């Protein structure tokens, strides 16, 4: 009976690692896509209105920081799952 319990615990740990890896991968891909769309929009806005490049760049900082923050939080949560 001890071997069955140990095997089940190992399987659960392996699933936790797989889930954490999958979650981290999806978070990084999502953040990368968001940052890419944001950068494309900024480049298009600056190309259309070069004189407003300072205002466009300033308005871009907050969403960029929020996207990066979400990716970092996802990484921390996944590491907490793995290292619990």
Query: Is residue 41 scored above 60 in pLDDT?
Result: yes
Query: Is residue 1 scored above 70 in pLDDT?
Result: no
C-alpha radius of gyration, the chain, whole number: 20
- Mean pLDDT of all residues in 10-39: 86
pLDDT at 2: 59
User: How much is the pTM?
Assistant: 0.74
Q: How far apart are CA 80 and CA 76, in angstroms?
A: 6
Mean pLDDT across the chain: 86
- Mean pLDDT of all residues in 57-67: 88
């Amino acid at each position: 009976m001890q071997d069955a319990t140990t095997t089940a615990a190992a399987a659960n740990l392996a699933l936790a690692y797989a889930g954490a890896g999958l979650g981290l991968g999806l978070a990084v891909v999502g953040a990368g896509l968001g940052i890419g769309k944001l950068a494309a929009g900024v480049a298009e806005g600056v190309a259309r209105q070069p004189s407003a490049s300072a205002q466009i760049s300033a308005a871009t900082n907050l969403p960029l920081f929020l996207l990066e923050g979400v990716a970092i939080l996802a990484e921390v949560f996944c590491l907490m799952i793995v290292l619990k």
